[in-house]
């Protein structure tokens, strides 16, 4: 069976907090052995569409979005059009499903970001999503351990992602799968064999994020508002 190496959470210059050019992203992903990469910019998909056209042979770009819901962030993949931020988590999940998309919960217990599961009531969303980020390369503290335990307790596949906001981070953590995750059905089937491959870029790389926010603010690339 085909072995796939997948990173389902990566940002580009389409995000208000990232400057990575899609041409450099796809090269880095290919050079580091990824077979599939989801570009999941904050509340937009235009650069993901651009990256798909630039991908070299052997690398499949999945069109995704990190959506800021009224309840916290969600990762939606296999989209045809951007999902508007600001809806409830359940409304956002329904909007992704209408497009045939899949949905995951990113950095679920990270208290530094808009994470869903910081509110215990949000645990009710587990039956409605397809995976949990059991390891996010940008999470510090015990958030990843909590996420892995939550995934197991709720019978959901736990995956590993880079959450890259710079070229240096692309593919630093990823998920190994058996199968072909190039389609929604293929990814769902392959998630049953998900193997977490953790990794982490140097903490100093995070200093790039506030700089990226400042540069994008000057360029007029601010966060999409609901």
Tens-place pLDDT, residues 50-66: 999 999 999 999 999 99
* pLDDT computed for residue 216 by the predictor: 79
* pLDDT computed for residue 199 by the predictor: 96
* pLDDT computed for residue 213 by the predictor: 80
Task: Classify the phi-psi angles of 59: left when phi > 0, otherwise alpha if psi is within -120 to 50, otherwise beta.
Answer: beta
* pLDDT computed for residue 196 by the predictor: 97
The proportion of the chain whose per-residue pLDDT surpasses 70, expressed as a percent, equals: 98
pTM score: 0.93
C-alpha dist (Å) from residue 80 to 59, 119, 183, 204: 19, 30, 13, 35
Mean pLDDT of the chain: 93
Separation CA 190–CA 179 (nearest Å)? 5
Q: Where are the domains of the chain?
A: 3-219
Separation CA 10–CA 65 (nearest Å)? 9
Per DSSP, the residues of 40-84 read EEET--HHHHHHHHHPPTT-EEEEEEEEE-SSSEEEEES-SSPPP
- CB atoms under 10 Å from CB of 31, counted, come to 12
Q: What is the mean pLDDT of residues 35-62?
A: 98
Of 117, 219, 134, 214, which Cα lies nearest the Cα of 173?
134
* pLDDT computed for residue 212 by the predictor: 82
* pLDDT computed for residue 188 by the predictor: 98
CATH domain 3-219 topology: TIM Barrel (3.20.20)
The yes-or-no verdict on residue 183 having pLDDT over 90 is yes
Q: Out of 79-88, 108-117, 135-144, 172-181, which region has the weakest mean confidence (pLDDT)?
A: 108-117
- For the chain, give percent helix, strand, coil, nearest 5: 35, 25, 40
pLDDT 10s digits, 108-159: 998 777 677 767 777 899 999 999 999 999 998 899 999 999 999 999 999 9
């Amino acid at each position: 069976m085909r072995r796939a190496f997948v990173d389902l959470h990566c940002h580009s210059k389409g995000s208000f907090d990232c400057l990575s050019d899609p041409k450099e992203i796809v090269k880095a992903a290919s050079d580091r052995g990824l077979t599939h990469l989801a570009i999941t910019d904050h509340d937009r998909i235009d650069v993901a569409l651009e990256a798909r056209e630039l991908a070299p042979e052997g690398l499949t770009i999945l069109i995704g979005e990190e959506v800021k819901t009224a309840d916290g962030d969600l990762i939606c993949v296999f989209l045809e059009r951007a999902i508007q931020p600001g809806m409830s988590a359940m409304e956002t999940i329904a909007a992704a499903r209408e497009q045939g998309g899949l949905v995951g919960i990113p950095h679920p217990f990270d208290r530094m970001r808009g994470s869903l599961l910081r509110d215990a009531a949000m645990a009710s969303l587990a039956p409605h999503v397809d995976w949990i980020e059991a390891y996010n390369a940008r999470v510090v503290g015990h958030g990843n351990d909590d996420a892995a335990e939550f995934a197991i307790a709720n019978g959901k596949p736990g995956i590993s992602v880079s959450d890259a906001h710079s070229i240096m981070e692309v593919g630093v953590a990823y998920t190994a799968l058996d199968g072909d995750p190039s389609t929604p059905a293929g990814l769902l089937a392959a998630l049953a064999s998900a193997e977490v491959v953790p990794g982490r870029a140097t903490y100093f790389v995070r200093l790039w994020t506030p700089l990226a926010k400042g540069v994008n603010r000057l360029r007029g690339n601010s966060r999409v508002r609901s």
